[in-house]
Chains A and B, each alone.
Chain A
Amino acid sequence: MSLITYRQALNDALRSEMLRDEDVFLIGEEIGQFEGSYKITAGLLAEFGPKRVRDTPIAEEGFTGAATGAAMVGLRPVVEIMTINFSLLALDQIVNHAAKIYGMFGGQARVPMVIRTPGGGGQQLGATHSQNIELFYAFVPGMKVVAPSSPADAKALMLAAIRDDDPVLVLENLSLYNTKGEVPDEDVPGEIGRAKVTREGSDITVVAYSRMAAVALEIAGKLAESDGIDVEVVDLRSLRPLDRDTVIASVKKTNCAVVLEDDWLTYGIGAEIAATISDGAFDWLDAPVRRVAMAEVPLPYAKPLETAALPSADDAITAVRETLDATARRR
């Protein structure tokens, strides 16, 4: 184990897979000479050369589609889309093509491609550069979408995504890149399609993914100390497929739940989780499922406005306390 950043864990996974498999190559804007807008690909051009670390024109639809076409004949491209906001320019190639090709042609062509892209606000980047639209891809059968929240998961899920024979979108997060954690030195791929209970608890279930799953662990520690509340945290990790059973098992134990999400509330991931809990654990619930999500506005630039719009640890703490109050069994 080594204590490294989320950024380093991703870089390690990319490098390791490129060393292991000649068919793995990186493609995207500014990933070579510039070493990536967020430096995830630092050092890789120098080590592997321009054939395997390919700087592209600013043409998301073109290079994402090209990666798909290369994957259809057996290469294993890892596409960097600088931020998830720019993936909208490649939406047709991702949704209408990468996600459809295996099924639409009766299973004749696989698309072993990875799209890695960060979401996240809070950097004063304004409305077009701060979105969390992973839902667009998690909505689509044929896509796999993973959302690691820790450096260890970032490495494990990136390894799994690159070795997977289907298109996988790996959702990174701007505010997680510098977070640190213990990461195994050896390469152990994670399992796509499985959630993980990252903290066991008995009082309330908090379901989250990506940045908010890290926030969930943070507030669980605080609430244990300040209120003696024993929070169980379910980190979804995989948005499609969605591991509903792990959520249901947790809610059947705690009898109440809060969902933390960085996306907008209406039609969001939290809505799907709340509906799942209603389907699978209706009679176990002692309180309505509460969702903490971004304010439904185009995210403003001005710091006080941006801060007000984004879900925070304090928002999560309030939601947990109020949900427990609603169960009428809070200590």
Chain B
Amino acid sequence: MPPNAAARSARATSTSTARRRRPAPDTTVSSAEALGFYRQMVLIRRFEERAARAYTEAKVGGYCHLNLGEEATVAGLMASLDETDYVYTNYREHGYAIARGIEPGRVMAELYGRSDGVSRGWGGSMHMFDVASRFMGGYGIVGGQVPLATGTALAIDYRGGREAVVCVMGDGTTNIGAFHESLNIAALWSLPIVYVVINNGLGMGTTVEQSSAEPELHKRAASYRMASARVDGNDPEAVYDAARTALAGARSGKPYLLETVSGRLKGHSVVDPATYRTKEEAAALKAADPVAAYAVTLHDRGLLTDESIAEIDADAMSAVARAVEFADASPHPDVSTLFDYTYATPVPNDSRRLPGAALYPAPPRPGAEDAGAVRIGAAR
């Protein structure tokens, strides 16, 4: 089976159940909400395209994974959360951070490694964190966030809180031990958490079917008697509704596994040309582009016009331009802050030695130890 066939067939099988028309008024996404989803999706699209450009301009270093193709899932999922809920994500998280309400400028500044970045320049693309919006981190190790998110749900339960945790991961994560250990614990302890698997059909270049013996990933929940569903990740309204259902369950102590099926429009990261894809596959993905598709949907509903589509795009472009300006103007972290974040509390004998410095720079001669001795590794 060629790469992405799994994702495509998954999409095909999911549409019948997931793309239901929403009849009940209390679950209908309002016109304002729908437009909000669209604006969000366009902003993320433009932000990610600009991030890719900044990478080629060497303004961004390290790895850089983009949410291109995932915009509908990001918008629908993040809109379903309360302000007090906690969000854990993986290394493909720029869009989630923006949708959580973090200023795009602070997200871009983090990509630029600047001191005004969400993680003060310490995290980079893969490690965005914002304590104020309870955005609990992007994580670079596949599956690393899953036990952590489970623990935050445990803390909510411990304190009798009403919040919930959403833990976003990719399809490949469902094969990691930490995923299974965590789902078992969450189900055993009735924790308020929704695990969201973003199934884009590919790990880096390995397909879901090549790596998962049960490629309908939401079915893994059955091992833990956990409720689950698969939803069309290209439809922000379907994702929103499914996430609301999942969250309601989680808040009543029933953890949930939600699988969203969408495409990854580009390579695994900015530097991946995705040569493992055929031209036909790439064309099919482009044809299913969720941003373009949702524009058509809203246009058909009379919520968007050609003019308003252009306007929303122009707004997004200028927001992204402002973000770049902010990032570019933000200072690099000062080297004097290098040792500020090893420990939360000062501790004696914490090492503050720079690579070339001697541990004991005074001339090691008996009797000379007090003359001009400078200790780099002194306690704070």
B154 proximity list for chain A (CB < 8 A): 66, 69-70
Q: Contact check, B364 vs A65: say whether CB atoms are below 8 A apart.
A: no
Q: Contact check, A108 vs B129: say whether CB atoms are below 8 A apart.
A: yes
A103 proximity list for chain B (CB < 8 A): 122, 341-342
Given contacts A106-B123, A106-B341, whether A56 and B185 have CB atoms under 8 Å apart is yes
Q: Contact check, A57 vs B188: say whether CB atoms are below 8 A apart.
A: yes
One of B23-31, B54-62, B142-150, B278-286 contacting the partner: B142-150
Is the C-beta of B292 less than 8 angstroms from some C-beta in chain A? no
Categorize the interface residue count of chain B. 35 or more
Is the C-beta of B155 less than 8 angstroms from some C-beta in chain A? yes
Is the C-beta of B207 less than 8 angstroms from some C-beta in chain A? no
Q: Contact check, A69 vs B127: say whether CB atoms are below 8 A apart.
A: no
Interchain CA distance A104-B137 in the complex, whole Å = 10
Q: Contact check, A192 vs B347: say whether CB atoms are below 8 A apart.
A: yes
A245 to chain B, nearest CB (A): 7
Given contacts A57-B181, A63-B185, A165-B344, whether A109 and B131 have CB atoms under 8 Å apart is yes
A75 proximity list for chain B (CB < 8 A): 155, 158
Instruction: Name the interface residues of A211-257: CB closer than 8 Å to any CB of B.
Output: 238, 241-245, 248, 252
B343 proximity list for chain A (CB < 8 A): 102, 142, 144, 166
User: CB within 8 A of B360: which of A106, A165, A248?
Assistant: A248
Given contacts A66-B185, A280-B359, whether A105 and B364 have CB atoms under 8 Å apart is no
Q: Contact check, B177 vs A243: say whether CB atoms are below 8 A apart.
A: no
A80 to chain B, nearest CB (A): 16
Interchain CA distance A141-B341 in the complex, whole Å = 10
One of B38-46, B209-217, B348-356 contacting the partner: B348-356
Interchain CA distance A281-B373 in the complex, whole Å = 13
Instruction: Name the interface residues of B105-153: CB closer than 8 Å to any CB of A.
Output: 117-123, 127, 129-131, 136-137, 139, 141, 144, 146-153
Which B-chain residue is minimally distant from A93 (CB atoms)? B147
A179 to chain B, nearest CB (A): 27
Is the C-beta of B307 less than 8 angstroms from some C-beta in chain A? no
B118 proximity list for chain A (CB < 8 A): 106
Is the C-beta of A124 less than 8 angstroms from some C-beta in chain B? no
B364 proximity list for chain A (CB < 8 A): 279-284
Is the C-beta of B377 less than 8 angstroms from some C-beta in chain A? yes
Instruction: Name the interface residues of B77-130: CB closer than 8 Å to any CB of A.
Output: 86, 117-123, 127, 129-130
Q: Contact check, A105 vs B158: say whether CB atoms are below 8 A apart.
A: no
Categorize the interface residue count of chain A. 35 or more
Given contacts A61-B181, A109-B131, whether A243 and B151 have CB atoms under 8 Å apart is no
Is the C-beta of A158 less than 8 angstroms from some C-beta in chain B? no
B144 proximity list for chain A (CB < 8 A): 65, 92-93, 96-97
Interchain CA distance A252-B341 in the complex, whole Å = 33
Is the C-beta of A72 less than 8 angstroms from some C-beta in chain B? yes
Q: Contact check, B148 vs A166: say whether CB atoms are below 8 A apart.
A: no
Q: Contact check, A244 vs B342: say whether CB atoms are below 8 A apart.
A: no
Interchain CA distance A98-B148 in the complex, whole Å = 9
Which A-chain residue is minimally distant from B121 (CB atoms)? A106
User: CB within 8 A of B349: which of A62, A166, A244, A279?
Assistant: A244
Q: Contact check, B121 vs A62: say whether CB atoms are below 8 A apart.
A: no
Is the C-beta of B5 less than 8 angstroms from some C-beta in chain A? no
Interchain CA distance A123-B122 in the complex, whole Å = 45
Given contacts A61-B147, A243-B348, A243-B349, whether A105 and B155 have CB atoms under 8 Å apart is no
Q: Contact check, A142 vs B349: say whether CB atoms are below 8 A apart.
A: no
Chain B, residues 255-290, CB within 8 Å of chain A (1/0): the string is: 000000000000000000000000000000000000
User: CB within 8 A of A66: which of B147, B347, B359?
Assistant: B147
Some 19 contacts from A to B, beta carbons below 8 A apart, are A62-B147, A62-B182, A62-B185, A65-B147, A65-B182, A66-B182, A69-B153, A106-B121, A107-B120, A109-B129, A165-B344, A193-B350, A193-B379, A241-B351, A243-B349, A244-B359, A245-B349, A282-B364, A283-B364
What residues make up the interface of A, taking CB atoms closer than 8 Å to B?
A: 25, 51, 56-57, 59, 61-75, 77, 92-93, 96-97, 101-112, 141-142, 144, 164-166, 191-194, 238, 241-245, 248, 252, 276, 279-284
The 10 closest A-B pairs by CB, nearest first: A65-B147, A69-B151, A62-B181, A106-B120, A66-B151, A105-B129, A69-B148, A59-B181, A193-B348, A280-B360
Question: What would 6 more interface pairs be, CB under 8 Å, given A66-B185, A69-B150, A241-B348?
Answer: A68-B148, A141-B342, A142-B342, A165-B344, A193-B347, A279-B360
